[in-house]
Structure 1
Amino acid sequence: MTESLAASIATLQDMIQDARIVAGFTGAGISTESGIPDFRSPNSPWLRNKPIPFELFLQSPKARREAWRRKFTMDDLYRDAHPSKGHLGFASLVASGRMPAIITQNIDGLHQRAGLTEEQVIELHGNGTYARCLDCGRRHELDWVRYHFERSGDPPECIACGGVLKSATISFGQAMPEEPMRRAQRLTAGCDLFLVVGSSLVVYPAAAFPAFAKENGAHLVIVNREPTPLDEAADLVIHAEIGTVFSKFIA
């Protein structure tokens, strides 16, 4: 570790120590260290298995079959993924009481597997570890969906109402979830330190939260391997491996 990186991590530790409320915000970069590919890397498997747009999913049984095929193909690629040092570091910050919750763009459930409760993770883009009925909202486990899908070639219907099942993620063209958006807004408005980790900050409306926090008087810290559009506005920017930075925070 270079002296400049060590100094930046020490500064981050001081900022967290001095903060009253820290809002965490995570993107795909925190999970790439767990072996989960992001959307924008060259040759990303997401480019070969792009999510089906929401309207097409609703309109076409063929599109729904293809959506589930792509979903299970991607799941198989990272089924052995485990929480990274970044996930574990965030779990320790939440446990310390300084961070009430984490706002995440990720759908992999790794923050929960690192020890956080559902209430401590605000999922802006949903969760890909289970399915929901689009009609009645009932949760269905993926093992059950996959068993019936691979048996018949068609995804099963909701066992409660016969409605259409979909991975519990927010697809392109689908409305953002109202309650998580409200919770993220409240946390952002109330924090005095907003900590962005592993996000390119180009996907909206999620990327608007750090800008809003800064405009509201909070300090803004960005930890990401690559530059982001908000680097110039941030109080501290660390371009480094997330695990290197957050290993210092693991309890």
Structure 2
Amino acid sequence: MHAWKEARARLNQAQRIAVLTGAGVSKPSGIPTFRDAAGLWRGFNPEEYASPQAYARDPQKVWGWYAWRYQQVCQAQPNPAHLRLVELEHRVGEDFLLVTQNVDGLHARAGSQRLVELHGNLTQGRCEVCGHRFALPAPEAFTPPPQCPRCGARARPDVVWFGERLPPGAFETAEQAFRGCEVALILGTSGEVEPAAGLGRLAAYSGAYIVEINPEPTPLSSLASSSLRMGAVEGLEALMG
């Protein structure tokens, strides 16, 4: 049996499914990945734009870069991979969880509801004083930095920077889903960023059937029950028909 046929059968039978997505899912929407030749970090030092220290040194510089990325993601549209995962959620129901490392908000825009955004969402601001989260103004009306609509203080991008903790409860929710799932779908992620990469290992050690969809091998490939060397759109098409 071809790898994708067995994986499709397992996916169709499973009643508890956990999904982990990375930048490869948003690449077909025109969002560059971080690690490929044209990636977001090419020519950038991450510590100059995505760390609390960088923000403390020059918040305007950091906000300028995030405002550019915000404009990019607002111009992008969810692609068939995002929509397929919404279909899968509708079929499985309450025992489905989608955990994403992406901060572009495309899963939510596609309609995903059982969703954990591990690294935050760059379409939102977070107040530096009261912690209130709010949607940023439309890109054409946005002049950074934004002010909190609740208390008026300056807000930062609502993303997890290097060296910061994940949002409260986010990883615990993800752990519970991956520990208890029958099938774990690992989609478009390099498998190099912790603690997200640990979710695939957790599912494998708990006895789940692991389906990896990625054009290139990753550190998680050796644990996968099925590895489909495809992009996210093509891989989900093969899996779901």
- 2:118 counterpart of 1:128: no
Offset of 1:146 from its aligned partner?
7.5
Aligned identity (percent) is: 30
- Relative distance call for 1:145 and 1:93 in structure 2 (3 A) is closer
Out of 186, 200, 224, the position equivalent to 1:196 is 186
- 2:51 counterpart of 1:53: yes
- Give the stretch that moved more between structures: 220-229 or 130-139: 130-139
The aligned counterpart of 2:19 is: 24
The aligned counterpart of 1:107 is: 103
The aligned counterpart of 1:138 is: 132
Note if contact 1:31-1:84 (Cα within 8 Å) is conserved in structure 2.
yes
1:50-100 CA-partner distances (Å, limit 9, x unpaired): 43311332x33xx21011100112233343211112111111100002652
Provide TM-score, normalisation by structure 1: 0.86
**Residue identity in the other structure for 1:224:** N
Residue ranges of structure 1 left out of the alignment (5+ in a row): none
Offset of 1:48 from its aligned partner?
4.2
Offset of 1:145 from its aligned partner?
8.8
- Give the stretch that moved more between structures: 87-96 or 160-169: 160-169
1:127-167 CA-partner distances (Å, limit 9, x unpaired): 11111113212123321797463xxxx62432433433111
The number of aligned residues is: 237
Please identify runs of 4+ aligned residues in structure 1 that moved more than 6 A: none
The separation in 2 between residues aligned to 1:48 and 1:143, in whole angstroms, is 28
**Residue identity in the other structure for 1:182:** E
Offset of 1:114 from its aligned partner?
1.3
**Residue identity in the other structure for 1:216:** S
The aligned counterpart of 2:167 is: 177
> Per the alignment, in what secondary structure is the counterpart of residue 75 of structure 2?
coil
Note if contact 1:108-1:129 (Cα within 8 Å) is conserved in structure 2.
yes
The separation in 2 between residues aligned to 1:206 and 1:37, in whole angstroms, is 20
The aligned counterpart of 1:210 is: 200
> Per the alignment, in what secondary structure is the counterpart of residue 97 of structure 1?
helix
Offset of 1:102 from its aligned partner?
0.1
The aligned counterpart of 1:232 is: 222
The separation in 1 between residues aligned to 2:185 and 2:103, in whole angstroms, is 19
The separation in 1 between residues aligned to 2:141 and 2:110, in whole angstroms, is 27
Out of 211, 225, 235, the position equivalent to 1:221 is 211
